[in-house]
Amino acid sequence: MQALKIVLEGVTTSFRYPHFMLGVQPSFPLPPPATIYGHVCSALGEWVDPEGLAFAYHFTIAGEGDDLEHIHVLSVASGKLPGGEPKVLEGNINPFKRHILLFPRLTLYLNRPEWIDAFRHPRYPVVLGRSQDLAAYTQIEVVELRQTERAYFEHTILPFTMAAQARAGVVSLMPRWIDYRNRRRPTFARYLMLNERVMSDSFLRFGAQQMRYWSDPTAPMIGETPLGLWFHTFTGADDEAFSMAGSD
């Protein structure tokens, strides 16, 4: 199967937990699916239909730290300014600590090889995460993925259903998709965040089913084991993964 492979590199990024507002802004260690969707739409220059769109990725960083930022918390004001003009808004500056990921490298795979020109000539500035987290594409190509019975997975997300089989990683509720045409309505789903390396041989299997996984033959191999790719979708049932792998 052909897939579009995009390598993005930057200096900083941060993937905000959406339910933290004041005091501290922790970052997901891996980009949520909603971030991937927004990035794809930025390159294409429009809100694309997420139906049928699938992605897989490998994400690493060189370090991490904290940055001190501040926000202006505003409220409706009463009274007048010194010059006699009525007040409209007033507020305070609230400092907070933001968790920053340093020198991120994202290898993104899309089941849309025909979009290669859009990423060669992106419509908007290339960023990952916040608008100030400028990045650059260092590699864009179409690759031929292969199916294999053995693969390794690392620095990626797996569907929540794999939490009982992978015996590694951390389960997290992540933004899956944001419908910007419907008042920015968010959709959330649970995923298994996998930063350590896991061989598919270690997955617990129920029954005699033998899984096959998509792999990238151009990625670094561990011995003779290729990098496995688990493709996800943005819509459908929460645990539905467009894994694009088969079973015997």
- What's the whole-model pTM score? 0.89
Q: Region 156-178: what's the mean pLDDT?
A: 93
Alpha-carbon distance of 10 to 129, in angstroms, equals 10
- Predicted confidence (pLDDT) at residue 199 exceeds the cutoff of 70: yes
pLDDT tops 80 at residue 209: no
CA distance 81 to 68: 31
Q: pLDDT digits over 120-152, tens only?
A: 999 999 999 989 999 999 999 999 999 999 999
Domain 2-68+97-233 sits in CATH at 3.30.70
User: What's the pLDDT score for residue 144?
Assistant: 98
- Domain boundary assignment for the chain: 2-68+97-233
- Using DSSP, state whether 178 is helix, strand or coil: strand
For range 62-78, the mean pLDDT: 87
| Residue entry with tokens 């190509």 | 141
Q: What is the pLDDT of residue 248?
A: 44
**pLDDT digits 0-9 by tens, 214-237:** 999 999 999 999 999 999 999 987
Amino acid letter for position 229: L
